[in-house]
Structure formats: C-alpha cells, structure tokens
Structure 1
Amino acid sequence: MSKSTTVIVNLWCGLSALLILMVDFITPLGIASGVPYIIVILISLKSPYKRFTIAAAMLCTVLVWIGYVGSPPGDVDTYQIYINRFLSILAIWVTTILTLSQRDSINQLHQERLRNLQSRIETEIQQEKLKMLKATMRTVHDIIGNFLNNLHFFKLEIDRNSTLSAESIKKLDQLTQETTQRLDKLASVDEIREKKMAGDMVGIDYELTPKGEETTGTQNKLV
C-alpha cells in the first residue's frame, strides 16, 4: 500500500469520525447516533494493517462517550441512554471483529490459492524439463546408435582383412567428425523443437531449418 493511499485512508477516517461526532452533538440523547461510526471501521479496512482498524475502533469508542457528554438532553430515561451508547459500542466492535476475521480468511484463502498455483506451475515446469531431458537422451541415443551401427561394418572389414583400407579409414574419420558435429549441434541448440523418431518416439530437432520453412514436429520452447 502506497504512502499516498495510507494518507487518504487516514484522512477519510478522520473526516468521517469528525462528521459523525458533529451530528452526535446536535442529536438528543437516547438515539443510537454512535452506530454510524461503523462507517469509519469499514473505511479503515482499506488499510492492510489490522492495528489501524483496531485503533479506529478504539477511537470511535471514545468518540461515542464524548458524544454522550456533548449531546443535548433527550426525553428518555438515563438507563436507555446508557443502553443506546452500549449498543453503539457493541456494534462498532462486533463489526471490527467480524470484518477483520473475514479479511483474514480471505487473505488466507488467497495465499493458499497462490501456493497451489505456484506448486502447479513448478510441477508443470519439472514435467516439461523431464520431457525435454528424455527427448534429449533419445536423440543422443539415436546419434550414438547410428555411429555404432556404422562401426559394425568397419568391424566386419577388420575381421575379414585384419585391417582397414585407406578409403575405409577416410570414411571412419568422416563418420567420427559427423557424429561429433551432430553432438555439438545438439549441445548448442538455443531453441527446442521436437521431431518424430523411429518407434513414434519424440526427439530433439537439432538440425534447425531457417524460419519460413517447414520443420518436422512441433515447436516447443523451454521455460
């Protein structure tokens, strides 16, 4: 709550209490003219501080008795005057207690909703991270799996000839470089895009195509 808002609330409470007191001074005794102080209590609820509302209730209680002293006499018995003043004070404090209790309940409910929302968001983030981690591991597995499958052909040549030909060595170097480049691309992606893999699995499209061209899979950005 800003300082200017606090000043406005204080000003309205003070002016309202003063106006009600002035009306009480011109109202004969016997009329429950202290009940309008409830308006001051309701205005004080604009302040987030509970002690401010309690202080306003205490001030209104004092003003009820000041109004009793300054009000002109009425045509009712003294005990009725005291009963009316007591009822006014009772109304002030019942309103104070009930409204503060209600506001506390609303604040607690609001905080609980915020905690639930935060927990749900954190859960969704964790699920999304886990999803991306699994997709990344599937992609790594696919890259390494292709590399190992290609190595099998070189193994067959070694088993058959006990060595690799110059052309095979060149192909092996090229295969190693391509595999390294793919892993480097996967490690340096700054935009996550999913792509369908064998077995209807989801992996990471690390071969990003330029904007405006169609890509395989749907785009998902990490939070």
Structure 2
Amino acid sequence: MPARETSSGWMRYGSVAALIGLVFVVDLQLPRGIAGGEPYVAAVLLALWTRDSRGVVGVAAICTLMTVLGYYFSPPGGEPWQVLLNRLLAIFAIWVTAILSISWMRKTEELHTMAREREKEKIYLATLYSAQHIINNLINQLYYVKMEAEKCPEFPQASIVVFDRVLEEGEALMVQLSEVDDISEEAIRKAVLPRQAATRPGD
C-alpha cells in the first residue's frame, strides 16, 4: 500500500477516535439524565470515511462501550429508568446507523463493480470491432491472393483447399468471438479455441 494511502487511513481513524474521545469527555461532564450517548452516532457516520465495513462495526462497538461507561461515570441526575432508557436508545441508534452505513457501503461497492464491468465491456467491444475491421481487410486480401493462385496452373490445388479452410475457419472464429455474451477471460478463450479442441470426441 502506498505511503500516502497509509497516512490517509491513519488520519481517518484518528479523526474518528478524536470525535469519540470528545463525545466521551463531554458525556462525563453531563448529568446522567441528559442523553449524552446520541452524539456517538456522528462518530459512526464519520467511520464511513474509512471505507471499511469492519471499521464501522469496530467504531460502533467502541461507541457502545463508551455509552455504557458514560452511564457509570457521569454525574448523578434524572430518574434511573429514564437514564437507562436514554442509554439503551443511544445504543440502538448507534447500531441502526452502523447497519445502514454498512448496507450503503455494500450497495455503493456493487454499483462501482457494475460500472467497472460496463466499462470493461465497452473496451472489449471497441477492441473487437477494431480487430474485426483489420481481420476482414486481411481476409479480403487473402481472397485476392487465392484468386490469383487459382489462375496459376503450377500452384498446388491441395494448398488452395487448405487456403479455403483457413479462411472459413478465420471467419467462423470472428463470428464466435462477436457472439460472446460473458465478457470474461474463460468465455473469450473458449470462443477462439480451434474447432478440433472445442469439439473433442467423447466431450
């Protein structure tokens, strides 16, 4: 991993840790009756910056721990049941935010993957069309060579038959390649296999 990316990663986690620390310090100064755990949701959202679902889960777990510690170490205040309910609601909000954040990250990654696949397909098709144009020109020139060879009585007829077979196979392979639907290395490789290899006896 490049040094710049490593430094950026540490900066992101450092920012999240600083926010958690700040919220925890403020929480310790407030009476228990005040909902001091909800601001940890901001730390979970900031964890999206790390682009790591495990990091989001880790931050949510740390925020949960800080919320529980805040319950025990904050100054007394408020009704016990209200204090406990506020803390439970804060933990609930932390994990709902974490789950939604992870879901958003996965959906975003799926969209990026789909975009990369579409870009790969566009490049493949552009390359295929260029190759077809070049090969078609070459085949036309070879047909001209074949016609000239047929005019020469000294040219072996067996060679002309082989020439015809090569031209037909070349055209067939180009058609097979243009009909590939799955733009993958295996599918492309199978499309250009020689007929003998593609249709072995007993397959």
SS at match of 1:19: helix
1-structure distance, mates of 2:22, 2:39: 10
Question: 4+ residue stretches of structure 1 with deviation over 4 A?
Answer: none
TM, length-normalised to structure 2:
0.68
C-alpha distance in structure 2 between counterparts of 1:148 and 1:41, whole Å:
77
Deviations 1:51-80 (A, max 9, x none): 111111100000001111121122x21111
Kept in 2, the 8 Å contact 1:32–1:87? The answer is no
d(CA) in 1 for partners of 2:57, 2:72: 23
- The SS at the match of 1:34 is coil
Aligned equivalents of 2:49 and 2:37: distance in 1? 21
Kept in 2: contact 1:38–1:95 (CA 8 A): yes
* Partner Cα distance (2:115, 2:21) in 1: 40
User: How much does 1:148 deviate?
Assistant: 5.4
1:92 matched residue in structure 2: 94
Of 39, 43, 49, the residue aligned with 1:36 is 39
SS at match of 1:46: helix
Query: Which of 39, 54, 58 is 1:55 aligned to?
Result: 58
Aligned residues of 1:17 and 1:37 also touching (Cα < 8 A): yes
| TM superposition score normalised by structure 1 | 0.62
In the TM superposition, residue 24 of structure 1 has moved relative to its aligned partner by: 0.4
CA deviations 1:93-141 (Å, max 9, x no partner) are 0000001101101101110121122123212212221221111111232
1:29–1:71 contact (8 Å) kept in structure 2: yes
Whose helix proportion is higher, 1 or 2? 2
The CA RMSD over aligned residues, in Å, is 1.9
Structure 1: 5+ residue stretches without partners: 156-223
Alignment map for 1:169-208 (pairs within 5 Å): none
